[in-house]
Structure 1
């Protein structure tokens, strides 16, 4: 059944109003009609089974039939910070990372990022990333859409990291030296409701200065197994490991 996220300001008692891109998707893509049923998720993470009561030229009005109690979110908060990579790699990380349960994505301007952040295109880029996260959250039946932050500097990222209970960065030198236990140890220590900020470098990895800065601010360096992963693969590996630890055991 199709799922849509509905802002709280589009809620009127037991009726919800769906507009914009979701209106287009319901009417012109899915070709739903009066009486069709769908799932709506509110900003407060409440989920409802709804039925379409009215379709106008600009909006779909649905009535809540039943509030649904579901749990599809990771029991821990995983924040993914990623050095700006080339091409559409970050879009892939956001899409697949949303499916895997990430709570937030924080791009940052790494020393070895080939791509440079264009402030003139910032709003357009952020809107695209948010749209990708929203669609992935709907497809994977998430109860919330991950937060997408504007790119930060490494210093801003270090300051942001203070909100997290645990902090680590994926470092290929740890893999080369055979040190593979840090990630597993951190995941075992974490309790439900706690948070982890995981930092991943761009294609060229971290600079020596970045490594030292992260370590000075309480980040643990860790490997992601004996193989060297691509920059877009590494965050997905970590999220899958967290899912196994907290949802499949």
Structure 2
């Protein structure tokens, strides 16, 4: 395969591995044919969002989809499947978008977006959030499509059998000094503007309370910095 940085990546939700082909449909089909002007016989690359990168040749172009014969497959491992970022529903939706984009580019594949007691914006548009990480996946040439779950309040987050890491500027422990076990599930919980309440921290019963730096950071900056340290 060519260097990943040289390719245009598509997303194929319909893959027939035994028959060795996939389909591009809907917006992916339109982008491939009408925007990128690919023709029958040309080579394209696609991911199924489950770690597989396919090299293929377009064999059929129909009205609403194309068929591509797979000539090569490269499967990537996801070493961070045990990390979940619990991100508050930020007041400014553009800042939440920015945090999700950058975390996806860095390799985070599990998110929980939650409303805390101090959350100002209560509505969470899951469809919009999924589009954000989908676009970031393709832009950064990642092969694992992140999963996003919604918690309308922090107490809906399942902490059972998970290590909970909470961020607090007053902690004496730095995230960069922690070590992690691949066999453990970790929840990294970030506070909203105004931080988590004492009751929320009590509910979480964190295994560790850590800080990222000596400086106070915006919520979205803290989220991205944590991802860059962990990944």
Q: After TM superposition, is the score higher than 0.5?
A: yes
Structure-to-structure mapping, 1:48-127, within 5 angstroms: 48-71=54-77, 73-75=78-80, 77-88=82-93, 89-117=95-123, 125-127=125-127
Q: 1:220 aligns with which of 193, 208, 214?
A: 208
CA-based RMSD of the aligned residues comes to: 2.0
Aligned pairs, number: 223
The separation in 1 between residues aligned to 2:200 and 2:71, in whole angstroms, is 52
Report deviation, 1:233.
0.9
TM-score when normalising by structure 2: 0.88
Q: TM-score normalised to the size of structure 1?
A: 0.82
Q: Which runs of 4+ in 1 moved over 6 A?
A: none
Query: Which residue matches 1:201?
Result: 191
Matched, 1:180 2:168: no
Structure 2 CA distance for partners of 1:44 and 1:240, relative to 1, 3 Å: closer
Deviations 1:158-197 (A, max 9, x none): xx22253x211111222xxxx133x2343x2x13454321
Q: Is the 8 A contact 1:95 1:132 kept in 2?
A: yes
Show structure 1 runs of 5+ residues with no match: 244-249
Instruction: Return the structure number with greater helix share.
Output: 1
Partner in structure 1 of residue 154 of structure 2: 154
Of 22, 26, 37, which residue of structure 2 is paired with 1:31? Answer: 37
Conserved? CA contact 2:8–2:44, under 8 Å: yes
Q: CA deviation at 1:47?
A: 2.2
Residues in 1 aligned to 2:173 and 2:109: alpha-carbon distance in whole angstroms: 25
**Contact in 1 for aligned 2:169/2:214 (Cα 8 Å):** no
- Aligned partner of residue 230 in structure 2, secondary structure: helix
Cα deviation 1:201-233 (Å, max 9, x = unaligned)? 111111122122222xx4421111101110111
- Structure 2 residue runs of 5 or longer lacking an equivalent are 1-6
Pairwise mapping of residues 40-55 of structure 1 onto structure 2 (< 5 A)?
Answer: 40-55=46-61
Who is 1:233 aligned against? 221
Q: Report Cα offsets for 1:32-61 as digits up to 9, x if no partner.
A: 122222222225432211111122220011
